[in-house]
Chain A
Amino acid sequence: MDSILYFLIGFFIMSGIYSVFSVGLNIHWGHTGLFNIGIASFFLLGSYTAAIISSPPPSLEKYEEYIWGGNLSQLSVLGIDIWFPIILLLSAIICILVAIPLAIITIRLKEDYLALVTLGLAETLRIIFVNETWLANGTRGLYSIPRPFDFIDRGNYDYIYFVVVMITLLFVYFIAEKATNSPWGRVLRGIRDNENTMISSGKNVLRFKVEAFAFGAGIMGIGGALFTHGKRFIDPITFEPMLATFIIWSMLMVGGSGNNRGAVFGAFLMWGIWTFTQFLPGFLSDANLRFVFVGMIIILFQLYKPNGVIPAK
């Protein structure tokens, strides 16, 4: 019984992390109509930023090869790990710094170009982290990444991390709701539905799009950092497009784009399907059938229910 509960907690942790990505993608696609198929690039940047800054400097005993470890995880005030929110913030900032120039180059062009550039960036970043072993230990990856609040209960750490993830998710959700219900968010939806109307009402459309892209990328960076401290191991294979991009798209499609509640719901539903289909008998549990399933979800929802299960108001 205990092991089942522990498994479920692990499932909720991953669902919560994917919900953060889904909310971030929702800012891009659901609210602004930005076609980003390189979620993996912000996932990777957020994850590696968090891992490198929080880990201790490389030492000979561990044979770890990376350029620098921030060792920020030693920073705690009155027994509270205040380094964790700082890491989340730094991961978000790095993603935003990468997103802004990228957006400025491509967003003024055809909308598909953003997709191609984000796709290329994800692939390029992964190759860089594979080849430059001095940067972050190459394909061997970074491991034993520090975890926040682990002094409370090391044995049953997942329960604590579950709370950490849920609080972060609530925080991200709250910010996303606030932003998208503000006048700023209304302009974004206006751009999505009819760009020319927004131009004619005097809005600087390019600027709003860049802001939205940076905002969503920042949220994805937070998701990446959450993932790192949950898994405690990252390597370039973690950021293959299937689990780092496509599944997040299917989550948003199921839940309903343009609606933050839908994004969270879709993340839990799709991750549930992804996790629990591995217990199906025979060939049904084949991981590749899940690929087919994710692809079909995207196609079928685009064809028959483009607004998802929980449509936007």
Chain B
Amino acid sequence: MKYFDIIFENKTILLLFWIILILSLMKPWLFVNGILIGSLYALGSIGLSLIYGNLKFANMAHGDFMTLSSYVALALLLFFFPNSEQSPSVGPFTFKYELLIIIPIAVVLIGFLAVLFDKLIYKKLRDLGAAPAAIALTSLGLAVGLRGLIQFIWGTDSTSFPRESKLFWDLPFKVKIPPDMFFCAIVAFIIAIAFYFVLFKTKLGKAIRATSDNPDLARITGINTEKIILYIWFIGGILAATSGILISVQQAIITPVMGWKILIPLFAAVIVGGIGNPIGALMGGLLIGITGELATGWINPSYKPAVYFLVLLIVLLLRPNGILGSKGRQF
């Protein structure tokens, strides 16, 4: 519970929490939406935070990995099941059975792609001893290139997975959610729990945490840090891909710019939670999701990115190490 002590120490942050709480009570349906959307942001930001904390640079290509994963999943789906448009959809959800088979394949593919990019690009930069900003700049180049490639292959128009319209669920307190949203949030939480299990209960997780804490010390104790970095990229890629595909299932749209647009809320979530703090990233993602949805109750929804930006600025002003981050400077 030490995370929550920090919230009560800082009066401004406590005040902001009270504001969020009161607004949630006024429009509880937005709060529920916020948690469901925030869980997907959380999944993306856990992966981003993992890479940021271990490799010490802001991975600007994370969002475009998410976009790429959606397009890869769609391409695989149309390749293996050309008739999926006609097939029945799963229970109360809008997507088809085939998508459930395709998702794991696409996710693992993107994980291996992340490893490949590390071997091709980031490994060389590490060997050159490049500064974190230079590595971040290279990842920006990768982001631009990936988006160009996506637009070249699949076009700039938006598309979506084969789907069938379904009724929304009507719950008490004016909560009205599409079933897909609920499904995506559940999957996101399961993946997050699985990730925490790997990170905190397995030998691999221990090695990852050791590498993150002090790479030199980890190497001395016999951990092959280069191999661990590949695992980190693989896990980061998997988390990005799952989050990307779930977001495009939930929003029923895939666009080439969706990954770029999501970078700001993801980074805001990572910084709110404290860079390299996996549990913090989950909390940060939920908080960002809730704040963004609550804001739509009072201001024009198209200002949502501006709200994320505002949250980022407030956090940088008040607690640059993150609300849930460690007290000292981490890096």
Contacts and interface: CB of A to CB of B under 8 A. Distances in A.
A298 B137 contact: yes
Interface of A: 33, 35, 37, 105-106, 109-113, 115-117, 119-121, 123-124, 127-128, 130-131, 241-242, 246, 249-250, 286, 288-299, 302-303, 306
Contacts of B152: 286, 288-289, 291-292
B300 interface: yes
Interface of A (DSSP majority class)? helix
Given A131-B303, A302-B125, A303-B138, A296 B145 contact: yes
B193 interface: no
Contact of A295 (B133, B145, B305): B145
B312 interface: yes
Contacts of A303: 121, 124-125, 128, 138
B148 A288 contact: yes
Contacts of B20: none
Interface of B (DSSP majority class)? helix
A289 B148 contact: yes
A300 to B, nearest CB: 8
Given A131-B303, A291-B148, A123 B133 contact: no
Contacts of A106: 316
Interface string B120-155: 010011001011111011101111111111011000
B57 A112 contact: yes
B320 interface: yes
B146 A295 contact: yes
Contacts of A105: 313, 316-317
B316 A117 contact: yes
A257 B293 CA distance: 42
A70 B317 CA distance: 35
Contact of A291 (B125, B130, B145, B331): B145
B58 A112 contact: yes
Contacts of B305: 120, 123-124, 127
B260 interface: yes
Given A37-B60, A291-B148, A302-B138, A123 B264 contact: yes
